[in-house]
Amino acid sequence: MKNQKKGRADLEIENRTPAQDGFRMPGEFEAHEGTVMIWPVRPGSWPHHGAEAQKDFTEIIGYLAQDEKVWLLVNPENIPSVENAIKEKTDLLEKSRPDAATKFTNHVRLLPIRTDDAWARDIGPSCVVREQSNSKIVRGVNWRFNAWGGEVDGLYQDFHEDDQAAKRICDALKLDFYDADPFVLEGGSIHVDGEGTCITTEACLLSKGRNPSMTKAQIEQKLKDYLGVSKVIWLPYGIYQDETNEHVDNVCAFVKPGEVVLAWGKEGDPQYEMSKADLRVLERETDARGRHFKITKLPVPSKSVCVREEDLPGFSFAPGEDVRHAGERLAASYVNFYIGNRTVLVPAFGDPNDVVAVKTLASLFPDRAIQAIPARNILLGGGNIHCITQQIPLA
């Protein structure tokens, strides 16, 4: 990365905001340098300490590493086993695609940074940029993380390492960062278009476990200050039974400025009325530049994706941690896709609507390859593809 210093430049940016310094958060569809991910091991999220999920994470890393860097956070004691997994993947690629094996080896970097879980989107730094001549300055934003609700309805009690992760990532990548702490925010609770517009959900950002002492107007101003946006659009709902208090990245996402996809449930399903309420907001709103939105409906899976009895062995829940139950409906959504530099990774659930999602996104991203990723193991952990990936912009 160019033009970066190590750590936060306290004298320069302490008590300042990105908006004051002319920074903006770019849209995810913009070119970026790479992606941060975290190796999954937490036994309360991933059965058998993540044995199956790790295979899916490795596949995702393999796709992304063809076109960008991947920084993989690993708890120090797990580094030997992760190095073995990376070597096995490299060896497999070497047999069929030596060029892909070389890119995989060159682009993946392990960072010995301890975390409590593997949700890079929510605990990593939100990145902002400022254009200058032929390059950009990239800085991070550190929010407070409290496991999606803290003492009110947080999903686990010990989240200290996760709360420190954004600052540690910035230090490792030599990024200065703005410190928004004590404002509580997760990266999956916001989407931006890179041109001044942010979308979020009232269900999440106004929940009692986030910033209960702040008004909606105060929260909105904080988003404007730290994301460099001028307009915030509040959707009422996210995805039904989303345990993040309904993050926006599961229900609505920017394809490009002025254009979004919206998760859509079938009539009679709880998601139908929730999505209809979101649609009404999007239809009457304009973005920061006055454009009406082009809205594409992306159906949720045709059948509910639920926890099965056979999924439960292998979990080990800490005291006070949210637990899984057979029959529990999971927040499956195709909107939780991730936009790589040359590919779009789409969650797949073994449902007929998997094909619909791939075809729809292929029409919306004609310049990128669309890759379906079996995502049940990741969903069982509590999130999806977008949730485990965090972008670092191009400098």
Name residues whose C-beta falls within 8 Å of residue 44's C-beta, 6 or more positions apart in sequence: 156, 315, 316, 317, 318, 321, 322, 323
User: What's phi and psi for 294, nearest 5 deg?
Assistant: -90, 120
Helix (H) / strand (E) containing 277: helix 270-284
Query: Quick check: helix, strand or coil at residue 286?
Result: strand
Contact 171, 7 (CB under 8 A): yes
Contact 44, 315 (CB under 8 A): yes
Of the chain, the end-to-end C-alpha distance in Å amounts to 6
Q: What b/e readout covers 318-343, taking b as 16+ CB neighbours within 10 angstroms?
A: eeebbebeeeeebbbbbbbbbbbbeb
Query: Quick check: helix, strand or coil at residue 184?
Result: strand
Tokens read off for 59: 């596949």
Residue 319: name the closest of 44, 22, 36, 26 by CA. 44
Helix (H) / strand (E) containing 279: helix 270-284
Q: How far apart are CA 364 and CA 161, in angstroms?
A: 38
115 alpha carbon, distance to own chain's centre: 16
Catalytic residue status for 387: yes
Q: How far apart are CA 91 and CA 126, in angstroms?
A: 34
Sign of the Cα pseudo-torsion (197, 202, 204, 207, in order): positive
Strand partners, 70: 35, 108
Catalytic residue positions?
A: 387
